[in-house]
Amino acid sequence: MEQANLPLLTNTQDESINNISDKSSINQPMTAISKNFTLDGEDMEPITSMSDFFKNFYIESLMLWYLAGPAIFTILCQYSMGAITQVLAGHVGTLELASISLENSVIGGFAFGVMLGMGSALETLCGQAYGAGQINMLGIYIQRSWIILISSAIPIMFLYIFAASILRFIGQTPDISRYAGKFAIWMIPQLFAYALNFPIMKFLQAQSKIMVMAVVSGVALLLHVIFSWLLMIKLGWGMAGAAAVLNLSWWFLVVVQLLYILYSGSFGEAWTGFSWRAFENLWGFVSLSLSSAAMLCLENWYYTALVLFAGYLKNAEVAVGAFSICFNIVGWVIALAFGLNAAISVRVSNELGAGHPKKTKFSVVVVTLSSLLFGFFIALFFMITRDQFPAFFAESKEVQDLVYDLTPLLCISIIVNVLQPTLSGVAVGAGWQAYVAYVNIVCYYILGLPLGLFLGFVLDMDVKGIWYGMLFGTTTQTFVLIWMLYKTNWNQEASIAGDRIKHWGGETSTSTITNMS
């Protein structure tokens, strides 16, 4: 069978795949199995009864939530730093609140998405190398990622420098544009903190050292609250105080975690110092980093675009208010779901790197069922409190009534948006970022967004119409990911992980990969 004739995802029943060797394809996420690859004998035993299933489900759930719990706490702490700054900015002044919020959501939000997305390439490479026992490659990978992200931050910096002109061009008022532009220039140090922090996060995640991230993030958040109040409110520094504390908080994360890596002695061969090998094979690393960034940014920009278009509806103030409340709730839910995203990414990449396709597949089953239950109970909470929770977010009766009407759609969106990031975590762990980026383009921008605009504006369904379109795009993408997982040959993916490790500078251990009867 020729590699060109292979389906993108090979069916698990395709036995002929084991006879294929194509070393030229290791840059692609899903290709042929290497001829010399055999499975690890330590993979899980077949499940023959319901008691076996529940026993293994319990064990795998413990492993997932051991990773997901601290990851959720870390994400919430880092997300909350910007939110707390905005809350305190509201006590400084209306113009300051609008300016800081605009910079955080447009300029800073763009940079955050790109940097986090590019850093996510390490989830694939570090996770699979760690699973394969190629610990010495982790330090090389993080250094390559630093080089690429710092280099990428330099052109992105010009968005900060010219933020005032950009915001004015897209229709913001002169005063808000000027203040937000000034704040953006002050926030340039945060951009370079992103470039260092996100690779560090992925480096630690791959080795399941997530508790360290959680502790450092918790301390950073506590200090951020104290010093934000002190500088912004007590000393009256306003926006300058907000910028100073935000920059220092993010650099605190970077410095403390970096010191832990350099001097704790906890990493052994994973960190042996800076190496010139970090400059090798950079272009291939850039390609995977860009695919990771595209995958994440296409999702983030989709929701931003929908809120933007809601501003053109009739009674836009009410529409945007209700829409923003619902999307803030969805945003917090997605933040929680990214804990599962991080956990399953680690589990999939580690097990594929170790040559354990059965463990990988079972991890995917467990996290899918867990995320569905997680999303269902959150949605049930908002459905039960449908009469009460809108008043917590808005004083306007019109906004409350619209949020009440949107709650059923909100609940469906919660379930979908807990499952979708989890499945994306599987894709990252397996190295399918480029393929998922194409799926996102089709589902979000060719199907979901046009349908939402058609229903909302042409058929006069207003906010509900836009949301129906959004939900259709997200649901379609989720079903495509489920189909991908159903059709995946995990033996093949374990082989590709081995080839990927060899290609990026490591060699899979022959003592680890042994023949399985």
pLDDT category at 33 given cuts 50, 70, 90 is: very low
Dist. CA 193–CA 296, nearest whole Å? 19
- Better-scored residue on pLDDT, 42 or 123: 123
Q: What is the dihedral of CA 5, 8, 14, 15, to 10 degrees?
A: 80
pLDDT higher than 50, residue 155: yes
- Answer for the pair 214, 70: CB distance below 8 angstroms, yes or no: yes
pLDDT higher than 90, residue 163: yes
Average pLDDT along the chain: 82
At 263, list the tokens.
Answer: 């001097």
pLDDT category at 456 given cuts 50, 70, 90 is: confident
SS (H, E, C) 346-401: HHHHHHHHCCCHHHHHHHHHHHHHHHHHHHHHHHHHHHHCCCCHHHHHCCCHHHHH
- The DSSP call for residue 395 is S
Lowest mean pLDDT across 9-23, 52-66, 318-332: 9-23
Which tens digits make up the pLDDT trace of 381-430?
A: 999 999 888 887 767 788 888 889 889 989 999 999 899 889 988 988 88
Q: 328: closest CA among 311, 303, 309, 362?
A: 303
pLDDT value at residue 504: 61
Q: What percent of the chain has pLDDT over 70?
A: 85
Place of tokens 């061009």: 169
pLDDT category at 373 given cuts 50, 70, 90 is: very high
DSSP H/E element including 75: helix 50-92
pLDDT value at residue 84: 87
> How many residues are present in the chain?
517
Lowest mean pLDDT across 46-55, 142-151, 281-290, 303-312: 303-312
pLDDT higher than 90, residue 225: yes
Place of tokens 């490790």: 501
Q: What is the dihedral of CA 442, 443, 449, 451, to 10 degrees?
A: 100
pLDDT value at residue 6: 32
Greatest Cα-to-Cα distance within the chain, rounded to the nearest angstrom: 72
CA angle 182, 183, 188 (to 5 degrees): 100
Cβ neighbors of 62 (< 8 A, separation 6 or more) are none
**Over residues 35-39, mean pLDDT:** 46
Dist. CA 116–CA 255, nearest whole Å? 18
Domain locations in the chain as residue ranges: 57-503
pTM over cut 0.85: no
pLDDT value at residue 320: 66
- Better-scored residue on pLDDT, 433 or 418: 418
**Over residues 351-356, mean pLDDT:** 86
SS (H, E, C) 457-493: HHCCCHHHHHHHHHHHHHHHHHHHHHHHHHHCCHHHH
- Greatest mean pLDDT among 24-28, 328-332, 393-397 lies in 328-332
Q: 239: closest CA among 442, 135, 93?
A: 93
